Amino acid sequence: MAAPVRFTRIVCAMARISSGIPLLGLRSLNACRGHRSSQTLRASFHRASSLALTSSQITVTDEPDTLFQKVSVLVKGHDRSVLDSYEFFATMAAKELGITLGNVFEPPKDVLRLTLLKSIHIFKKHRVQYEMRTHYRCLELFRLTGSTAQVYLEYIQRNLPEGVAMEVSKIAVAKVPEHILQPMWEEPTADNAPSPTADLKG
Amino acid sequence: MVGTSRLFARLQVSVSVGRINGPGFGQYASLNRATYATALSTSNFTGNKGGPDRGGRGAFVRRPRREPGEPRTEKMDSQQDWSAVYPSAASFRPGSVPLPVRMGYPVKGGVPSEKRGNLELIKIPNFLHLTPAAIKKHCEALKPFCTEWPAGLDSDGDLDKHLPIRIETTDYVSAGPSVRNPAARVVTLRVRLSSLNLDEHAREKMLKLLGDRYCKDTDILTITTDSCPLKQQNTDYAMYLLTVLYHEAWKTEAWESEMTRADRREYIWEDSASQHNVLDTLARMATPVPGEGVGEGVGEGEAPPREVLLARPEVQQYRDSVTRLKNEGESEGATLRYREAVKKLLSL
């Protein structure tokens, strides 16, 4: 009988904690990775300050952070005022988290129009027309780290209203990998260097 | 004998329909006076209850109908913590939102309907849980999980120098029967050829291998992969393609020595039929220009040597115009330039 009781207590604790910060849940987020790509760049680590969570949920790993030159968020919906409110929310969240916002603009809407027969049988002259309007809003964010992008996008996406879709295009930057820095052939102009095609022909 | 008791509670939905004015606004007009009170109504069913000796088992407890209390909005303080009222996304509750909101198309001569029982307000997504104060609170909690952008990479030039490879991916979020979107597996890899370590031969061979995937104006190679089902697989495949291209470009095969002028990617004027023709023509014209460095071995009436001829500005101009015509195709400007060059060369 003790086991169910213990389980309920844990559940209550989780409910209390999760109601304080409803968006984060109790998974430990692998955040705050230092960036190690070259000597000119400094790695920065953040430690959790006083949080409402019972234990520090932030783990710091040595895995290098991905860097995004640009993250472009396009939201689509049928109601323009919902997208207006969402844009206000997303831009404010970006400012609060210290993310450089680029262009925030509204691409022109798409209207899908259908003209259908009104009646199931004959009456060709009487039709009914429907249209579906899709409004767009685009936010461009520049120079984000992978952790920041993950945090921001998760926050944005958990608060996406019903009936709104989102496309996120990210441009990640990376170094030239080590195996492409130098050609692997010993002498690049040697004619008798064994080539894979020669082996296949033989 | 136990009498059958037909005691049942009936759900009573009271909807009173207001005036219907104008075409097509039936549903809106009906909401003007519609209430959505669904109440268990027991007041009408005393008849079938049976005698007073029906206690226990079949007794229907006549619950006194409770009047709805005062809405919470009356008791709200103006300095309250709003994020406690709407901590997360919830539908609109007229008793919890102390604002005199009206919504709906008005009846003729009327105003939009009030918030009590207004379906339009319930249907539309609201952002009551995302007030500026709430957003600030959330961001304060999220800030420790963010990392800073490295200081040495603020400009695009720095990024190109240190991190020249760009990998573009797209994620999709939408509601539907499935969260997957097959378009999310597409990966595009872009890199400038100038940031790769290539010599002349390797660059030429690379350009031949790339074909359409290279843009001459921006010097950017684009590899788009979507043949694998997962995004990670496609990025790995794109990097693999880049690696293979690079190493193949540096390799020199035995048959590459059989390359002819026709196989070359671009037209080169040096050592071409056009150059031979020009030199022959100028040799036949054979008027040495004063000021040219003519050697002592050349007398009057003999052609100046090749290098001298080639160094002449008209010959250079002719060379440029022919190269442009052959490489970029025929256009009005290119043909006119060729004409001018020929006229100058033959001193017409």
Q: Judge: B145–A147 Cβ closer than 8 Å, yes or no.
A: yes
End-to-end C-alpha distance for chain B, whole angstroms: 133
How many C-beta neighbours within 10 Å does residue A32 have?
22
Which residue does chain A place closest to B255, by CA atoms?
A: A191
Q: Between B283 and B149, where is the model more confident?
A: B149
- Work out the pLDDT band at B159, boundaries 50, 70, 90: confident
Strongest mean pLDDT among A54-63, B56-65, B217-226, B338-347 = B217-226
B193-215: average pLDDT: 90
- Given a contact cutoff of 8 angstroms between Cβ atoms, the answer to whether B58 and B31 are in contact is no
Q: Between B148 and A22, where is the model more confident?
A: B148
pLDDT per position as a tens digit, B284-294: 876 655 555 54
What is the reported pLDDT for A41?
40
What is the reported pLDDT for B56?
54
Which residue does chain A place closest to B191, by CA atoms?
A: A176
Q: Tell me the pTM.
A: 0.70
Q: Judge: B246–A180 Cβ closer than 8 Å, yes or no.
A: yes
pLDDT per position as a tens digit, A97-108: 999 999 999 999
Residue tagged 């043949």 (tokens): B227
- Map chain A to HEC letters: CHHHHHHHHHHHHHHHHHHHCCCCCCCCCEECCCCCCCCCCCCCCCCCCCCCCCCCCCEECCCCCCEEEEEEEEEEECCHHHHHHHHHHHHHHHHHCCCEEEEEECCCCEEEEEEEECCCCCCCCCEEEEEEEEEEEEEEEEEEEHHHHHHHHHHHHHCCCCCEEEEEEEEEEECCCHHHCCCCCCCCCCCCCCCHHHHHHC
C-alpha B249/C-alpha B205 separation (Å) is: 5
Which residue does chain A place closest to B195, by CA atoms?
A: A176
CA of B31 to nearest chain A CA: how many angstroms apart? 22
Structure tokens at B194: 């100038």
CA of B295 to nearest chain A CA: how many angstroms apart? 39
Which is nearest to B36 in space by CA: B74, B86, B91?
B91
Q: Is the ipTM of this complex over 0.85?
A: no
pLDDT per position as a tens digit, A56-95: 677 888 888 899 999 999 999 999 999 999 999 999 999 9
pLDDT at residue B61 tops 50? yes
End-to-end C-alpha distance for chain A, whole angstroms: 76
C-alpha A180/C-alpha B92 separation (Å) is: 58
pLDDT per position as a tens digit, B21-59: 444 444 444 444 444 444 444 444 444 555 555 555 556
Q: Mention every residue, 6+ apart, whose C-beta is less than 8 A from residue A91.
A: A101, A104, A139
- Map B266-312 to HEC letters: CCCCCCCHHHHHHHHHHHHHCCCCCCCCCCCCCCCCCCCCHHHHHHC
